Structure 1
Amino acid sequence: MTQYDVDVLVIGTGPGGEGAAMQAVKQGLRTAVVERFHRVGGGCTHWGTIPSKALRFAIFQLLEVNSNRLLRDAGYNLELTFPQLRRSAENVIQLQEDMRRGFYDKNDARLIHGEAKFIDPHTVEISDARGLVEKITAAHVVLAVGARPYRPPDIDFKHPRIFDSDTILNLPATPKTITVYGAGVVGCEYASMFRNLGCKINLVNTRQQLLEFLDDEICDALSYHLRETGVLIRHGEAYEKVEGLSDGVVLHLKSGKKLKTDILLWANGRTGNTDRLGLESVGLKADSRGQLAVDESYRTSTPNIYAVGDVTGYPALASAAYMQGRAAVLHINGDECASLLAKDIPTGIYTSPEISSIGKSERELTTEGVPYEVGHAQFKSLARAQITGRRVGMLKLLFHRETLQVLGVHCFGVNAAEIIHIGQAIMMQPPPHNTLMYFINTTFNYPTMAEAYRVAALNGYNRLF
């Protein structure tokens, strides 16, 4: 039998890599982890999820102070620049990095900083910043290399007024006007943040609907709310060229429109970080966006090599990546529950207000011919929302008309990404405990946002008669 240096070699320390590495260690597998950045945590920790969500919270706090009537009457009015708000994330990033580095130290997973490249399916060459090269052999390899913003070659991203979702965090000042090209999750989140800072926003959508993978009613609610706050949404557009000037950026659209703003944020797609891995040495080929195809156990076409997280494409969520990493290692270890771990993952979209959903949408249930009914709870009717002044939003339950099984939960409003987990917990229960009756027969604290589940359940149940 061939002797390898390690049982599992994980490339990348983002959520997918961390999930894979920790699962491997807990199962007694000899594990090593490679990270090309000099800090651990991947893009999620350093220039993606954590800094952007910390920035969002800082903007939210600023908005809270300046919109509070009591504070306004007392003469308080805060004016903070984008860099000042951005600095609030530094402490969070450091705390996250320290914690994650501790995971590897405490679990005796060897952490190697350097650039990884395949020599063959079981051998990886690692080059560090000093030029030192080390070769490691592994029985299995898990690729958790993540993704970066897609950059079309005809756009000058070196121009000081043209940004992508990584570089926007280094914005030197608060702009007055912004064009966001791309209305996916990243584009909508940043459009919300900058609008809350008082910037005028053009949100250019290459499709006909915002976030069309969501339930249609949630898509409509987001569109309405963004427009209500002053965001100008342009659907079905495509760029012709991007012209960087000394005093702004002009986005030329194929429709003939020209949009000039202080800066441009390019938020149209991502590319997997696979171009320097030497995939040709192991018989793998990424698609045009650098992504790798995997089966339901996250195994590539080369049997001992797995891929998890953003490098595999949709859903490209940190939460999903972590569970995918675990699932891959469970499969390596021969555990049959691997394919169950990464199913029914909730979406968490940090627009203002938040969006979160799990399960089927109305569109999907209609296409599948499932007899379903809908229950709504409008946040404006909830005492807790009235007390806090956060009355925009709703909770929507989709359930089977005959069995009352909960089929989908969709939430738009404050704390949606937290609220969704109550519905998720019930959906995951075996029959008959996964039905609408749980919410009808359960006592919820009052006043709370969680009470929305009882309100929505009763609203839907009443539609059956």
Structure 2
Amino acid sequence: MTLPRPRVAILGGGPGGYEAALVAAQLGAEVTVIDEDGLGGACVLTDCVPSKTLIESATTMTSLGRSASLGLQLEDGHNPVVEVDAPALYARIKALAAAQSDDITERVAAEGVQIIRARGALTGPHTIAAAGTTVRADVVLIAAGANPRVLPDAVPDGERILTWRQLYDLPELPEELIVVGSGVTGAEFAGAYQALGSQVTLVSSRDRVLPHEDKDAAIVIEGLFRRRGMNVLGRSRAQAVHRKGDSVVVTLSDGRTVTGSHCLLTVGMVPSTAGLGCEHAGVTLDSRGFIEVDRVSRTSAPGVYAAGDCTGVQMLASVAAMQGRIAMWHALGEAVQPIRLSHVAATIFTDPEIASVGVSQAAVDRGEVPVRVVKQPLATNPRAKMAGIRDGFVKIFARPGTGMVLGGVVVAPRASELILPLSIAIEQNLSVDQIAHTFSVYPSLSGSVTEAARTVMEFGPDAIV
């Protein structure tokens, strides 16, 4: 007797949704994805992929700026050889995003997943209305994502007052860009546009940029921002943003004003749960509108799971994808390990990048975790010297006595790649001794990881360097 295939319906095609669809299809389920905009979701089409493509171009410009120190001449008289072609830059960004979405769609469709291009809404715990039809399922996954938060007195118009999703439709680079918000998104875009040639003012309501990140890393980035000519306004909360002809005026809470050609709002995200019909399915939302889930992605409704930004659980594509996979493994009877957020590696794509994993400096400073700490400056690394890199470091947190790696921070070009050995060390319970005894290429930036591990060993079990 052949048992019927379980039916899985997924509401949203971002990383949480399409990765879940792949797992469910491979486990033999009959899978339907309901998505309005295109697979890959906002992550691929408007957020992560486009922004990192922009940043890649900006990073190249920064590298070219070091050319003189490397013995290269990139000017013809007083005219720079390299200039930014904004329409071409933005066209490339959108083309790459669309191509990535197409690649994901092709892969998901090849697994036999049905894709419905429409906006869907829950009408019950196991039914979704979409495009005039009702999709019924044994298991439902909500992966609806989130949208940029806006301020009551700073409403985006898509021309001068913008969210990051509207940048790529501009006809030219902003001449004077005011970035409101100095968190991860604000810092990334502020640094990128400064490198591309815009004059940037970064409005931060806190004492420093990246207030929730490693303090040592944030100090490096803010120092570089200032050295590169950025106007960083600390302890300056934006109260309102208004158009004034072809300019924008940002009014701060203390009455000061800042004028520029454009304003980019980077003041957080709100979940896309309004109008989703969660109340019809018995799905509980928290006070901010995020879907409440446990560590295997279950909601309050039996058979209904949620993944990604709509849950408010570390808004990272990697976390969304893992939440989606875990949901399907759990729902379809596979062995599953609950998500371990302490093992998640995250990167801020400034230049240089900041990557971190495991225990944070803030937790150490609060006395929550006893560790020994070493910070190895990148300036002593021979490969960094060859590339004209002076700023950055590798920091390792290790358990006293055993030397077990508990966390790390890397501030360096391609820190997103360099953090991997520390992530593996945490996942596999490795010690600084084991890292120190691992061969690294000479010369390489990764050599600073093994050197930091050796420094922890040299200073003994209670070292704080």
How does the TM-score come out when normalised to structure 1? 0.92
Q: What amino acid is the match of 1:97?
A: S
Measure the CA separation in 2 of the matches of 1:442 and 1:311: 41
Q: After superposition, give the CA deviation of every residue in 1:373-429 in whole Å (9 maximum; x if it has no partner).
A: 122222111111122223321111111121101111101110100000011111111
* Residue aligning to 1:457: 453
Mapped contact 1:203–1:233 kept (Cα < 8 A): yes
Q: After superposition, give the CA deviation of every residue in 1:149-183 in whole Å (9 maximum; x if it has no partner).
A: 11234333226210001112222212221111111
Using a 3 Å threshold, how does the CA distance of structure 1 residues 289 and 440 change in structure 2: closer, same or farther? same
Measure the CA separation in 2 of the matches of 1:315 and 1:384: 33
After TM superposition, the structure 1 = structure 2 runs for residues 40-79 of structure 1, keeping only pairs within 5 Å, are: 40-65=39-64, 67-69=66-68, 70-72=72-74, 77-79=81-83
Mapped contact 1:323–1:342 kept (Cα < 8 A): no
Q: After superposition, give the CA deviation of every residue in 1:410-460 in whole Å (9 maximum; x if it has no partner).
A: 011101000000111111114xxx100012211111111111112111222
Measure the CA separation in 1 of the matches of 2:237 and 2:73: 44
Mapped contact 1:34–1:112 kept (Cα < 8 A): yes
Measure the CA separation in 2 of the matches of 1:159 and 1:245: 15
After TM superposition, the structure 1 = structure 2 runs for residues 59-138 of structure 1, keeping only pairs within 5 Å, are: 59-65=58-64, 67-69=66-68, 70-72=72-74, 77-127=81-131, 133-138=132-137
- 1:397 is paired with a residue of what secondary structure? strand
Tell me, yes or no, if structure 1 residue 234 matches structure 2 residue 233. yes
Q: Report how far residue 67 of structure 1 moved.
A: 4.6
After TM superposition, the structure 1 = structure 2 runs for residues 25-424 of structure 1, keeping only pairs within 5 Å, are: 25-37=25-37, 39-65=38-64, 67-69=66-68, 70-72=72-74, 77-127=81-131, 133-158=132-157, 160-284=159-283, 286-287=285-286, 289-340=288-339, 343-424=342-423
Using a 3 Å threshold, how does the CA distance of structure 1 residues 270 and 390 change in structure 2: closer, same or farther? same
Measure the CA separation in 2 of the matches of 1:125 and 1:159: 31
* Residue aligning to 1:446: 442
- 1:9 is paired with a residue of what secondary structure? strand
Q: Which runs of 5+ in 2 are unaligned?
A: none
Measure the CA separation in 2 of the matches of 1:68 and 1:290: 49
Mapped contact 2:8–2:138 kept (Cα < 8 A): yes
Q: What amino acid is the match of 1:459?
A: T
Q: What amino acid is the match of 2:54?
A: L
Superposed CA RMSD = 2.1
* Residue aligning to 2:8: 8
- 2:128 is paired with a residue of what secondary structure? strand
Measure the CA separation in 2 of the matches of 1:321 and 1:362: 25
The 10-residue stretch of structure 1 (228-237 or 10-19) with the greater mean CA deviation from structure 2 = 228-237
Q: Which runs of 5+ in 1 are unaligned?
A: 128-132
Using a 3 Å threshold, how does the CA distance of structure 1 residues 342 and 361 change in structure 2: closer, same or farther? closer
- 1:249 is paired with a residue of what secondary structure? strand
Measure the CA separation in 1 of the matches of 2:377 and 2:106: 43
The 10-residue stretch of structure 1 (329-338 or 238-247) with the greater mean CA deviation from structure 2 = 329-338
Measure the CA separation in 2 of the matches of 1:242 and 1:366: 37
Using a 3 Å threshold, how does the CA distance of structure 1 residues 296 and 404 change in structure 2: closer, same or farther? same
The 10-residue stretch of structure 1 (217-226 or 314-323) with the greater mean CA deviation from structure 2 = 217-226
- 2:81 is paired with a residue of what secondary structure? coil
Using a 3 Å threshold, how does the CA distance of structure 1 residues 209 and 72 change in structure 2: closer, same or farther? closer
The 10-residue stretch of structure 1 (282-291 or 188-197) with the greater mean CA deviation from structure 2 = 282-291
Aligned length: 454
Using a 3 Å threshold, how does the CA distance of structure 1 residues 263 and 74 change in structure 2: closer, same or farther? closer
How does the TM-score come out when normalised to structure 2? 0.92
Mapped contact 2:373–2:397 kept (Cα < 8 A): yes
Measure the CA separation in 2 of the matches of 1:459 and 1:318: 34
* Residue aligning to 1:130: none
Q: What amino acid is the match of 2:456?
A: G
Measure the CA separation in 2 of the matches of 1:330 and 1:5: 15
Q: Report how far residue 258 of structure 1 moved.
A: 0.7
Q: What amino acid is the match of 2:317?
A: A
Q: What amino acid is the match of 2:320?
A: A
Measure the CA separation in 1 of the matches of 2:287 and 2:150: 12
Measure the CA separation in 2 of the matches of 1:428 and 1:284: 33
Measure the CA separation in 1 of the matches of 2:95 and 2:368: 50
